[in-house]
Chain A
């Protein structure tokens, strides 16, 4: 049990270090929120820069005060109290935490669904490939997956958006749900709302799946091929075990072990990677918020979004460590 405390301290230190780095990197970016807003006013209303900056200051009087070290200390204290500051660009003065809280569930919906589907499908295809190792099906899929896994998510997203939303019109081009669906929800029609949400989420989810399923399939294929060569598989056949049992408990379970950690880490990384996909589909999750924050130089919102992504990755790794023991008795620690 001592191990768990050590692990938690490392988690805390990792998060602390990441937040610190984020703070200073964000501050090192050229420009500040007022400057960004002033630039926008200059561009929109053709004011002089001085005028625009005055106006910007009056619109958003939230520029942090004091030198940067004081600001940092104040930020850290507030952070661990659960106060991430207020947004500068968003409807002025909204707490960052409530903006993030509103965005996160949508990202989780897309990312978790995409991860579970691509993992499950990838694992199954990978096992079939391993069992048919060297066949035309296997080599064909291997080539196909090597190509799809090297496509960046945003390219896949743009292609899907173009084909299925613009050309075919099967799916919406943007947003999380339609206005009418929200009205329906207010009138108690939950099903219509959920349906509309799934309809909007389909293309973002599909963008992830197209790119990720190949990686899981190829990983599982390699892992399965090596497990198939293990003595315990042959010995299980000799004992007359039904092939179903061998495929699931002997081959499947042992082949999945090396992929499990990547699975847990993927959730966090997909959180971070959702900037592009959510931007392309104007899907207002955490990635979209982060994008907006960067454009507006909204320091607190930017830091908040980065920090959430960091926390997601670190928690994913922690869960992977904790849960791995349930799957593999060899690394189980005595309680």
Chain B
């Protein structure tokens, strides 16, 4: 694998809620390698989206705060960068496909205007170039450019809007695209279709993609590497093959066992007992210990360190340390 393009080190993000401080991302370190498609997997509320928002520094300003760590991108620390520097990075170098695709476009603007204003905001005033580039992207995503560009958001279906957002994210040819559950709102067939397109696009334009999802099966088909999140922490990182064939962390193993398969026996599927912890008062020690079948005394007291099992495969568990 090549060198990292984004290096996250010891990142901590908190939300100030009425009940207390929510430690949504707690001491997370993660490298995103140039040209890879890395999947970030975790249950709802495990801090995946917060991580994505932190990279682009789009966290709600009054509620959320980055309280520690670094996000290094091309010599710049995005965790502390000034707004003006961020504006230059956003979209032209790191872009983003939002989770709530159905409502991400301005209802009073045509699709073409969304492309135009995005380009203009980054200093591109050549209308013709934008139309050509947008048409090319939409065509790659198997949409009719003519019709789609002249439509208003409400005239498009959910799957079409989702693809428009993907095209929009690639408009300025960014180095990294963060996709936050880009297929969650879609039916399985459209989902499959878009996932294949994403893979193809990544190869064609040599982009780096960070793919956030709660559906670990989705990553199996298209990802290079996977980072497994649980309760604001990374539990395991490794390449797709290793994570699916030889998962090391009990949480990852449990997660994979819970996937329904076409041919498998339904009895072999096992849900993970219990619910994710409250992030205002997370359990001491390993955050997974209350639900872990192998939990030991030590797990309840001391947080396990991240250990490298073999090059590129890391997990945080006392069974492995």
Q: A230-B103, A231-B98, A231-B100 are in contact. Are A238 and B91 (CB under 8 A)?
A: yes
**Is A149 engaged at the interface, CB distance under 8 Å to the other chain?**
no
**Is A27 engaged at the interface, CB distance under 8 Å to the other chain?**
no
Closest to B103 in A: A231
Closest to A257 in B: B108
Q: Could you mark each residue 251-281 of chain A with 1 if its beta carbon is under 8 Å from any beta carbon of chain B, else 0? A: 0011001000000000000000000000000
- Cα–Cα distance between A77 and B73 once the two chains are bound (Å): 80
CB pair B121–A240 under 8 Å, yes or no, is yes
Interface class of chain A by DSSP: helix
Q: Could you mark each residue 203-235 of chain A with 1 if its beta carbon is under 8 Å from any beta carbon of chain B, else 0? A: 000000000000000000000000000111011
CB pair A242–B108 under 8 Å, yes or no, is no
Closest to B88 in A: A240
Partner of B92, one of A230, A240, A249: A240
Partner of B107, one of A237, A241, A330: A330
**Is A7 engaged at the interface, CB distance under 8 Å to the other chain?**
no
Q: Which B residues from 117 to 140 make CB contacts under 8 A with A?
A: 117-118, 121-122
The contact size tier of chain B is 20 to 34
- Cα–Cα distance between A257 and B107 once the two chains are bound (Å): 11
Q: Could you mark each residue 39-51 of chain B with 1 if its beta carbon is under 8 Å from any beta carbon of chain A, else 0? A: 0000000000000
Q: Which B residues from 154 to 181 make CB contacts under 8 A with A?
A: 154, 168
CB pair A236–B106 under 8 Å, yes or no, is yes
Closest to B83 in A: A243
Partner of A241, one of B56, B92, B118: B118
Distance in Å: Cβ of B86 to nearest Cβ of chain A: 8
In the complex, which of the residues A230, A253, A254, A329 has the most CB atoms of chain B within 10 Å of its own CB atom? A329
CB pair B121–A241 under 8 Å, yes or no, is yes
CB pair B98–A330 under 8 Å, yes or no, is no
Distance in Å: Cβ of B262 to nearest Cβ of chain A: 34
**Is B319 engaged at the interface, CB distance under 8 Å to the other chain?**
no
Q: A249-B106, A249-B109, A330-B152 are in contact. Are A242 and B121 (CB under 8 A)?
A: yes
Q: Which A residues from 90 to 119 make CB contacts under 8 A with B?
A: none
Closest to B110 in A: A329
- Cα–Cα distance between A232 and B104 once the two chains are bound (Å): 4
Q: A240-B90, A330-B154 are in contact. Are A232 and B106 (CB under 8 A)?
A: yes
Which A residues have a C-beta under 8 Å from some C-beta of B? Answer: 230-232, 234-242, 245, 249-250, 253-254, 257, 327-330
Which B residues have a C-beta under 8 Å from some C-beta of A? Answer: 56, 58, 87-88, 90-92, 95-96, 98, 100, 103-110, 117-118, 121-122, 152, 154, 168
